[in-house]
């Protein structure tokens, strides 16, 4: 997995190999002590493993590091991370970055029919009841505004073989429950757990925007200085109509491509090929700070610009490093 | 056929989870036998299990605040279920702060043990988590496969040293050999031995004490009149022993083993109301 760092506002983005999950963290300049924006469109792609390696063992870093400097050296093709520690010790990491493309998921939270907002702790405490080996979970709205989570059993798995776990949360555990009664979506638990552990540690409220099965679910965390988005593919509900749901998000679906990329968020992901960091200066950054909604027209424009192979809404289980 | 039970007391719940965790470490699938007063977890002697068998017995009254069961018939007031204890262990793992745990036998789509955990929440109502654990109901004609094993006619019965100590020794020996020799005599001495082409390691324990029951019990003829110094020994799969020592969470107040030379080693772990028996066959 790659991590993409982009100038302007500093943003970190990543997508899973199967493109079933996309995450973006956008930091306001005020998040930093000092922030000098790079040239427009400046970005780089570094290996997640080496990037994370620098920040391994956070408790130790918390004690020793006084300042951290991130420097994007476009000419040298390096991302420099400097940790200024106590006693005048400075640790410098030079991460070579790779040829880069813009990574952007096209989504619009305003077009989602259901919205659920609550403390991350509530959902974090809910997902611990599900086994670590479980791939997907179904979130649904029940009677009286109750929110349910239930194990999703793989297609073809014999009923009566696997343990099924179910949990209901009362609406008053959330700050806002504006969900379509009876609606439900199924998504990967692993990525959701990842976001929850971050959200719980920073005690930020989590908002889940979702629509019909097969449409992406968008999980957002809001903080004045930081905005996080996780976009997850959802499974098409085999029990409901097998037709793809109508496009309610301002995107029209081209016919299914002939290749194998039929799962994941292909149709929502516009991977704009742009050689290194030249050109494409005006590529629309999204998600934006405010106003929050990329208008449908903009979404369409990005789709055209993208030229990447669009896919169909996911209808299959996504195998993504589980 | 009906079964429902409820645990409210936290200490009972934790104790029960520890027993289930221990069983989950020892058996992938096992039989749960329910009677009016007792629960039994049984792993019967099958070649697929390497000939290992287990018998674990608990008094329901010491764990459950409510326990209602109605067997197959009035004259056979029992229920036999096959289940994966790991599922039960996972369901109880996140129930450590529960207000109540209810267990119920259901048959909605297929037979299940429904474990409903009531957890405290931030709102007025509590959170309810339910786990449907698939089970198979074992028909009456197969019940005879799950008879309580009789205490074998052993040559030596001896108290075990601290299981923690034994565990760390066995874990080290496991790196050197696949099988271990357990030998003991009636003078409270026990040795754990491994022998390979390049190395022999023996750990000696003494003053362990021999349980008195050998003399009380009529059937233990092999132990009577035996030379106090002579060792009875059995060579067993070291992994099976290590599994028992590493997996047990009952912290027994009494642990002992009975050795039948070259045939079987019978372990008994006792903790108040729980007894766990584990049989490891000797290797040829």
Domain A2-99 = CATH 3.70.10.10: yes
What mean pLDDT, rounded, does chain A reach? 74
Q: What is the pLDDT of residue A203?
A: 84
Is A164 in Cβ contact with B131 (below 8 Å)?
yes
Q: What is the pLDDT of residue B115?
A: 95
Confidence of residue A112 (pLDDT cuts 50, 70, 90): confident
Provide residues of B within 8 Å CB-CB of chain A.
87, 90-91, 94, 109-112, 117, 121-125, 127-134
Q: What is the pLDDT of residue A106?
A: 76
pLDDT values of chain B reduced to their tens digit, one per residue, 284 residues: 899 999 999 999 999 999 999 999 999 899 999 999 999 999 986 656 668 889 999 999 999 999 999 988 888 899 999 999 999 999 999 888 899 999 999 988 889 999 999 998 877 778 899 999 999 999 998 888 888 887 778 899 999 999 999 999 999 999 999 999 999 999 999 999 999 999 999 999 999 999 886 455 555 556 667 788 889 999 999 999 999 999 888 888 999 999 999 889 999 999 888 999 999 999 87
Q: What is the pLDDT of residue B37?
A: 92
- Measure A124 CA to nearest chain B CA, in Å: 12
Q: What is the pLDDT of residue A105?
A: 75
Q: Does any domain span residue B223?
A: no
By C-alpha distance, the chain B residue nearest A161 is B134
* Domains of chain A, residue spans: 2-99, 114-235
Residue A163 is given by DSSP the state -
The set of residues, in sequence order, having a beta carbon less than 8 Å from that of A184 and lying 6+ positions away, is: A138, A139, A140, A141, A148, A213, A237
CA nearest neighbour of A110 among A41, A200, A209, A204: A209
Token duo for residue B278: 């584990």
B136 and B18 in one domain? yes
Confidence of residue A308 (pLDDT cuts 50, 70, 90): very low
CA nearest neighbour of B127 among A147, A231, A228, A227: A147
Q: Does any domain span residue B150?
A: no
3-state secondary structure of B34: strand
Per CB-CB distance under 8 Å, the chain A contacts of B81 are: none
Confidence of residue A161 (pLDDT cuts 50, 70, 90): confident
Token duo for residue B234: 């059995």
Q: What is the pLDDT of residue A104?
A: 76
Domain final position from B113, B145, B177: B145
Q: What is the pLDDT of residue A38?
A: 76
Question: Is residue A315 pLDDT above 50, yes or no?
Answer: no
CATH of domain A114-235: 3.70.10.10
For B110, which of A122, A160, A168 is closest by C-beta distance?
A: A160
CA angle B273, B279, B282 (to 5 degrees): 160
Q: What is the pLDDT of residue B229?
A: 87
Per CB-CB distance under 8 Å, the chain B contacts of A122 are: 122
Is A119 in Cβ contact with B127 (below 8 Å)?
no
B174 and B137 in one domain? no
Per CB-CB distance under 8 Å, the chain B contacts of A120 are: none
Is A160 in Cβ contact with B122 (below 8 Å)?
no
Per CB-CB distance under 8 Å, the chain B contacts of A167 are: 127-130
B162 and B130 in one domain? no
B205 and B101 in one domain? no
Q: What is the pLDDT of residue B221?
A: 57
Range of the domain at B242: 156-214+228-281
Query: How many angstroms separate the CA atoms of A47 and A168, rounded?
Result: 39
For B122, which of A160, A168, A173 is closest by C-beta distance?
A: A173
Tens digit of each residue's pLDDT (9 = 90 or more) over B30-73: 999 999 999 999 998 665 666 888 999 999 999 999 999 998 88
Domain final position from B89, B120, B145: B145
- Measure A128 CA to nearest chain B CA, in Å: 7
CA nearest neighbour of A185 among A244, A131, A137: A137
Per CB-CB distance under 8 Å, the chain A contacts of B90 are: 131, 163
Please give the model's pTM, rounded to 2 decimal places: 0.77
By C-alpha distance, the chain B residue nearest A121 is B122
């Amino acid at each position: 997995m790659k991590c993409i760092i982009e100038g302007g506002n500093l943003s970190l983005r990543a997508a899973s190999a199967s493109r079933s999950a996309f995450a973006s963290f956008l930091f306001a300049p005020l998040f930093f002590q000092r922030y000098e924006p790079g040239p427009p469109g400046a970005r780089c792609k570094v290996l997640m493993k080496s990037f994370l390696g620098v920040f391994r063992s956070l408790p130790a870093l918390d004690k020793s590091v006084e300042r951290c400097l991130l420097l994007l050296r476009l000419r040298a093709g390096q991302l420099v991370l400097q940790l200024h520690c106590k006693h005048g010790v400075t640790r410098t990491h030079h991460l070579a970055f790779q040829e880069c493309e813009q990574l952007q998921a096209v989504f619009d939270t305003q077009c989602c029919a259901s919205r659920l907002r609550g403390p991350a702790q509530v959902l974090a405490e809910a997902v611990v009841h599900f086994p670590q080996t479980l791939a997907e979970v179904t979130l649904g709205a029940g009677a009286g505004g109750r929110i349910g989570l239930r194990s999703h059993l793989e297609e073809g798995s014999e009923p009566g073989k696997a343990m099924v776990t179910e949990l209901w949360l009362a609406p008053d555990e959330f700050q806002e429950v504006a969900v379509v009664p009876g609606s439900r979506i199924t998504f990967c638990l692993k990525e959701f757990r990842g976001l929850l552990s971050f959200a719980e540690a920073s005690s930020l409220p989590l908002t889940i925007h979702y629509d019909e099965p097969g449409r992406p679910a968008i999980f957002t965390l809001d903080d004045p200085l930081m905005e996080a988005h996780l976009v997850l593919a959802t499974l098409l509900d085999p029990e409901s109509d097998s037709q793809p749901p109508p496009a309610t998000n301002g995107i029209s679906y081209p016919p299914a491509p002939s290749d194998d990329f039929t799962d994941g968020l292909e149709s929502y992901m516009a991977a704009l090929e742009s050689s290194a960091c030249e050109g494409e200066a005006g590529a629309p950054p999204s998600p934006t700070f405010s106003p929050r909604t990329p208008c449908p027209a903009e979404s369409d424009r990005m789709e055209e610009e993208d030229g990447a192979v669009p896919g169909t809404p996911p209808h299959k289980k996504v195998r993504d490093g589980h | 056929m009906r079964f429902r039970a409820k645990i409210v007391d936290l200490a009972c719940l934790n104790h029960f989870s520890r027993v289930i965790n221990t069983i989950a470490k020892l058996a992938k699938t096992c039989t749960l036998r329910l009677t009016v007063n007792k629960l039994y977890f049984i792993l019967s002697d099958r070649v697929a299990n390497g000939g290992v068998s287990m018998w674990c017995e608990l008094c329901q009254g010491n764990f459950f605040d409510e326990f209602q069961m109605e067997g197959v018939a009035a004259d056979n007031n029992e229920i036999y279920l096959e289940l994966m204890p790991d599922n039960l262990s996972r369901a109880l793992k996140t129930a450590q702060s529960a207000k109540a745990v209810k267990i119920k036998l259901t048959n909605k789509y297929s037979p299940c043990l429904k474990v409903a955990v009531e957890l405290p929440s931030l709102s007025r109502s509590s959170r309810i988590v339910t786990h449907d654990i698939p089970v198979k109901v074992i028909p009456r004609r197969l019940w005879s496969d799950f008879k309580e094993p009789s205490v074998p006619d052993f040559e030596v019965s001896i108290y075990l040293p601290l299981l923690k100590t034994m565990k760390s020794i066995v874990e080290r020996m496991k790196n050197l050999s696949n099988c271990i020799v357990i030998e003991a005599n009636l003078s409270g001495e026990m040795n754990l031995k491994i022998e390979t082409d390049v190395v022999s390691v023996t750990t000696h324990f003494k003053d362990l004490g021999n349980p008195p029951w050998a003399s009380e019990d009529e059937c233990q003829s092999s132990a009577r009149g035996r030379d106090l110094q002579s060792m009875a020994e059995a060579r067993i799969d070291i992994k099976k022993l290590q599994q028992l020592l590493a997996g047990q969470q009952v912290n027994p107040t009494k642990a002992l083993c009975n050795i039948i030379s070259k045939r079987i080693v019978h372990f008994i772990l006792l903790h108040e109301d729980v007894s766990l028996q584990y049989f490891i066959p000797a290797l040829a």
